[in-house]
Amino acid sequence: MPYIRESYQTKRQNTIDAIQYGLLNGQVPLANSPTRVIAEVLASTGNAQDLFLDGISIQFNPLTATGSDLDNWSALKGVYRKPATAATGTVVFTGTTGASIPANTVLISTDGQTYTTSQSTTVGNNVTITATSPGSAGNQQANTLLTLQAPIAGVDAQIEISNGVTQGTDLESDDALRIRMIQAYQLQSTGSSKPDHIKQVLAIPGVTMAWMPDTPTAGNEVVIWFMLDRSNPTMGYPQGTNGTATKERRSENATGDQLTIANALFDQKPYTEIQKICSPISTPIAFEISGLVQDTATTRAAISTAIRDVLHTQGDPNGVTITLASIDTAISKAAGTTSFTLISPSSDIVTTTGQLPEIDGSVIFS
């Protein structure tokens, strides 16, 4: 149970009462008297001790520990906080054919984020750029404009990102780390079980969700689906092609985000296993709601968020059924009323292998 302590005000009053009735025969100590000062000092010292013990009671329990203490508890089970990672992408400079762009050329986005080129290149060729600061703030949507920090002869001042800049992630939060730590304490690791595989995938920076079928698809071939941070420009869906790690020569190799994850897992996998790392398939579902009472922009936004949370929480690439009842309940809580009609979908949402449900565009309110 948590450490229970008195507030500073209660402790001070109890100390004053003890002096009043134990030393002064019921006389109230005056505000500026030495006894009143002593009462304040004793209460302050006792409160500081209680705060210290309160902190100990939190940090000495892995279920409530925070910060570096949580890191220490997690390390006992080989679970470590995911570091922040820098966003990366590919751009093509435009301008005079053959004009050179040196390595570490700085580009600036409209929101002030800066990026550098990984190597020297020329106009018309692909080159990788990396955010100078790690974190999700470095992610950019496709078609974002970047501007050269300093002009380069023969090179246009602005270029457009065709495929976006992704994979920038923030330092893992205490809550997210605690979930993985608790799973590690609960699991008896064998190195080859389904929970072991999921644990390994979730330990990779940027990965927030992972799934596997209950059995291999064929022989020793296993499929692992994963998602990145839902706040990134691609809604968390990996960008690349499904496949295996670079060192895996028995099957076609992945590309993009899938290859990054496959390579990170390769040395941990069972020796004979073929791991196919896959992105779920975004499956749009049309939503239409009519007759909503108190139809305001705020209510609409809350409803859209509630529906999206249901889809993201219950969605599973193994195939799942999301009932209309669960969607109705989420809408009712967000809207604060049951006075509405869910026109679409008209039946339970059923997804098949590989699919994750998403709102098709935006919720229609009629």
Q: Residues 294, 238: one domain?
A: no
* Pairwise CA distance, residues 340 & 56, whole Å: 50
Q: Residues 204, 275: one domain?
A: yes
- H helices of the chain, in order, are 8-22, 34-59, 67-75, 174-186, 194-202, 256-266, 297-314, 324-335
- Look at residue 143 and tell me if it is in a domain: yes
Residues 6+ apart with CB under 8 A from 125: 92, 93
* Pairwise CA distance, residues 160 & 148, whole Å: 11
- Please indicate, yes or no, whether the overall pTM of this predicted structure exceeds 0.85: no
Q: Residues 160, 200: one domain?
A: no
Nearest Cα to 234, choosing from 358, 133, 350, 113? Answer: 358
- Look at residue 139 and tell me if it is in a domain: yes
**Res 297: pLDDT:** 92
Q: Residues 191, 275: one domain?
A: yes
**Res 365: pLDDT:** 94
- Look at residue 77 and tell me if it is in a domain: no
Half-sphere exposure of 214 toward its Cβ, with a 13 Å CA cutoff? 1
* Pairwise CA distance, residues 362 & 112, whole Å: 29
* Pairwise CA distance, residues 352 & 349, whole Å: 10
- Look at residue 74 and tell me if it is in a domain: no
- Look at residue 180 and tell me if it is in a domain: no
Q: Residues 144, 195: one domain?
A: no
Residues 6+ apart with CB under 8 A from 365: 288, 289, 290, 292, 295, 300
Q: Residues 210, 225: one domain?
A: yes
**Res 40: pLDDT:** 79
- Look at residue 318 and tell me if it is in a domain: yes
Q: Residues 194, 218: one domain?
A: yes
Tens of pLDDT along the chain (366 residues)?
555 677 878 887 888 888 777 777 777 777 777 877 777 788 888 888 888 888 888 899 999 999 999 999 999 998 999 999 999 999 999 999 989 999 999 999 999 999 999 999 999 999 999 999 999 999 999 889 999 999 999 999 999 998 889 889 999 999 999 999 998 888 766 667 888 899 899 999 999 999 999 888 888 999 999 999 988 888 999 999 999 999 999 999 999 999 999 999 999 899 899 999 999 999 999 999 999 988 899 999 999 999 999 999 999 999 999 999 999 999 999 999 888 999 999 999 999 999 999 999 999 998
Count up the domains in the chain and report the number.
4
Q: Residues 96, 28: one domain?
A: no
* Pairwise CA distance, residues 170 & 103, whole Å: 26
Last residue of a domain, one of 262, 279, 296: 279
In which domain, by residue range, is 104 found? 88-166
- Look at residue 19 and tell me if it is in a domain: yes
Q: Apex CA 133: angle with CA 164 and CA 178, to 5°?
A: 95
- Look at residue 302 and tell me if it is in a domain: yes
